[in-house]
């Protein structure tokens, strides 16, 4: 929804710029075009930053998932190592008897 609004704002500003360029002349036209250019730049950069932030957030979520998986795997390894130690001690005790 936010992307749609940004694109709509860009199109409105472009249409307004074209209207001003074609119908208004003189200092007022130049000032109006300058203001439209600034607004266009603001909307365009907002759109680009929004897209980058979405990509960054999806990458962070992916890293969190990988981190959780690696934590689970390391805890499983620790549990298995503890079980092996217990079995080794039990085997040593059985062999001594």
Residue 91 clears pLDDT 80, i.e. is over it: yes
* pTM (2 d.p.): 0.55
| Total domain count, the chain | 1
Q: What is the DSSP string of 2-61?
A: HHHHHHHHHHHHHHHHHHHHHH--HHHHHHHHHHHHHHHHHHHHHHHHHHHHHHHHHHHH
25-56 residue pLDDT tens:
778 878 888 888 888 888 889 888 988 999 99
Domain span at 31? 2-96
């Amino acid at each position: 929804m936010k992307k749609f609004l940004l694109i709509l704002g860009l199109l409105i500003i472009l249409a307004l710029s074209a209207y001003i360029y074609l119908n208004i002349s003189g200092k007022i036209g130049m000032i109006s075009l300058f203001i439209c250019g600034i607004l266009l730049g603001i909307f365009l950069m907002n759109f680009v930053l929004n897209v980058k932030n979405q990509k960054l957030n999806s990458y962070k979520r992916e890293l969190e998932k990988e981190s959780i998986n690696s934590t689970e795997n390391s805890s499983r390894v620790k549990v298995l190592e503890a079980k092996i130690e217990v079995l080794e001690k039990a085997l040593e005790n059985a062999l001594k008897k």
